[in-house]
Amino acid sequence: MDSQGKESWAAELRVGVGKPFPLGVSKYAQGANFAVYTEETDEVALILYPPHQDKEGSRDLRRAELALDPKMNRTGQVWHIHIHPLLEGYEYMWRIGAEPHIRFGKNICLDPYAKIISSPLVDQFNDRSVEYSPRGVIPSKKSLLFDWEGVCPPRIPLKDLIIYELHVRGFTMNSDSEVQYKGTFLGIVEKIPYLKELGVNAVELLPVFEFNEKEWPLKESSLGDSICQYWGYSTVGFFAPMNRYCVGNVLGAAVFEFRTMVRELHRAGIEVILDVVYNHTAEFGEGFYHFKGLAVGTYYLMNEDGNFLDYTGCGSTFNANHPIVAQFIHDSIRYWSLECGVDGFRFDLASAMTRDTRGNESKEPLLIHTLSMDPALRDVKLIAEPWDCGGLYHVGSFPHFGVWAEWNGRFRDIVRCFIKGDTGTLAEFATRICGSEDLYGAGRTPAHSINFVTAHDGFSLYDLVSYNEKHNEANGEDNRDGETHNNSWNCGQEGPTEDEDINQLRRRQVKNFLTVLLTSIGVPMLVMGDEYGHTKNGNNNTWCQDDEISWFNWTKCKEEKDSLLRFTRKLIKFRKDHAVFRRNSFMNKQVITWHGVEPYRPNWKSSYNFIAYTLHDDVAKENIYFALNAGAEERKIAVPNSHKWYRILDTTLFPPEDFPDEEVEVASDGIYALKSYGVLVLYSPYQDEEVDAENTVLENIPEEEEEEEENEIRRNLAALRVPGFAHDVDTESLEPLTEPYKLRESSSSINLKAEYFITRKSGPASFTG
């Protein structure tokens, strides 16, 4: 103990050898055990601080520094010590080495395993006058205990999920949110009735691990002091909930309030998925918290010259498949799932976690295999964002071990292109809405495709139909940040307009996107605010915007109660009511029949984006007919006349007729005029023999027409695994035929390998999610 430690509390400490596991701080023998992994072999010390000590080093007068003996307190590369009494609420750090690190200039390190971290509170979010200097906190005997009140996880099958992506702070921070605890975990609890009424059954929370929102200095921006690391893709504490999402100022409050949120969501039948960042950390640039001082060569990918390898666009890459780092991530996932009740995880830039310790792609990465095979995580949803910023693009090919789902970026791209009328998209669009069997047919199910049109990074859904170009000037980077290729269409004028025809077309297109998303096979993900038409004013990279641009607009939501919000709620209920959308198996001709404007005759060669199809559910004894007119012309459709059809929705109509409360029978002549840029959904009960009749019609197509389809179309469709076409064909011979259906180099997913990588590195916005 140094001279500064000669305080009564420190003099009375009893110090023991301790044990090397578990890592972090843990209660042991009426005291606390501390254990940390580090490459340092000679000098390590544990520093203890009384609760609420001033954190400016020159005034750190009451700390106690306990030097560890390498002969007694080191087992291999793990240093450990035991102290008595427990010292509940005291803060601690590790001193690694006798002198500051020769490269980084610091050697006081945060415990990577700290479950409670001392840092600013909710009312100090982005308060630049408050220092950010996090420390670990010794838990009390009760602070990590929690009463789940008998509430069990919903354990909803993956195929039945309807995911709602939201930001904890942004969901309730607006002044019109009418909640007591704005911007917090408890604020979400107050809004559970809204989530239930909307109909979603899973929330995917943007990062909630402790992060420093003030890590970037204020920049020149029209928004001034609101600029910050708002999204949170810059993790400091991998076991600690974000303190500024917590209301209480007592020991363990963040852990308690996070678990309270999880419990109450579970009580409402809603699962909790966390967006987690294990591909990089907050230690970019001059950032220094823990890993750099503990074992920089272990925790980060580095080349032979000792430089960081950057496959994330954030200056470095976590060395996820080093055994020690893989164990660290595994321990973190286990803690959040087994101790905090989390139901699933979406892994940011997950392809970076497939790189070996030299940065090369691994087909069976240690970390992914370990998480996949852990029997304690068998019920936990694992979702990959299957690309990184170093060229890996794993959509459909992520090393899944039969359990990993993926954000289906190809669904996003092709749906955007099809709905706005791009030619050459028809066949791939058909494949994507049917569950992407070409991507997930080998060892997985349609439910492993997480379908989405928008996400937190990119345009909101309303902006997708209102802007051709990004408008990110408010971020202070001269509009250089953010994705350039968005596959968006402004419907005739950039941004806000008083032209009512354009505004109506935009609303129609929003409904078209929602209809496709929520009736496609796979798992849909909806972004907070899209249900009422939230706009971010054309900003497609709001990582730094802690203001109304990002916050949920509850006033606007109420205004849309009887229009767009109503439409979304009814769509979600429609999906829940019909099991044909929620499948664990891919479709065949017994389940789906394709049409054109005439029944049973789809025109796959057409340059005009029109397609129709019928889904048959022989369990529910029903048909559901879809017609999608993604072009500027009206189409008179002849619906199959063997059924009596009732209209479920028509996106070209005004509310409430666009989705009537009562089914509306279609004209007896079977002809329906579908206006431009519209989606029609019809419903009909059926008898078993009716499906057989439809298949008979298909078999009776004239021979010359059948031959033309076989030679010019069917093999293309089979290669894309469009349901209803034979798949037993030579894939090599199909390569030239499928070329027109491959994603163009300008699509946003392919562009991740090139221009998007450059964009993310162009400035601070690269350090996002």
CA distance 366 to 629: 47
Active site residue 618: no
Apex 407 CA angle, 403 and 410, nearest 5: 120
**Regarding beta strands 610-617 and 622-629, do their DSSP bridges make them parallel or antiparallel, or are they unpaired?**
antiparallel
Helix (H) or strand (E) holding 682: strand 678-685
Q: Which residues of 80-95 are buried (b: 16+ CB within 10 A; e: fewer)?
A: bbbbeebbbbbbbbbb
Question: Looking at 370-522, which runs of residues are DSSP E strands?
Answer: 381-384, 405-407, 449-452
CA distance 483 to 469: 10
Beta bridge partners of 163: 202, 525
Residue among 40, 91, 111, 385 flagged as catalytic: 385
Active site residue 111: no
* Tally of CB atoms within 10 A around 29: 11
CA distance 575 to 581: 6
Apex 443 CA angle, 442 and 448, nearest 5: 95
651-to-326, 659, 679, 711 alpha-carbon distances in Å: 48, 8, 5, 36
Give yes or no for a cis peptide into 100 (omega within 30° of 0): no
64-to-12, 55, 539 alpha-carbon distances in Å: 11, 14, 49
CA distance 674 to 512: 13
For 362, list phi and psi in degrees, rounded to 5.
-115, 135
CA distance 724 to 703: 18
Structure-block tokens of residue 705: 């027409």
Return the half-sphere exposure (C-beta side, CA atoms, 13 A cut-off) of residue 553. Answer: 19
Helix (H) or strand (E) holding 298: helix 291-299
Apex 594 CA angle, 592 and 596, nearest 5: 155
Residue among 264, 348, 388, 463 flagged as catalytic: 348
Contact 116, 240 (CB under 8 A): yes
Please choose, from the candidates 167, 166, 177, 181, the residue with its C-alpha nearest in 3D space to the C-alpha of residue 247: 181
Contact 308, 380 (CB under 8 A): no
For 717, list phi and psi in degrees, rounded to 5.
-65, -35
Distance of CA 719 to the CA centre of its chain: 30
CA end-to-end span of the chain? 43
| Catalytic residue IDs | 348, 385
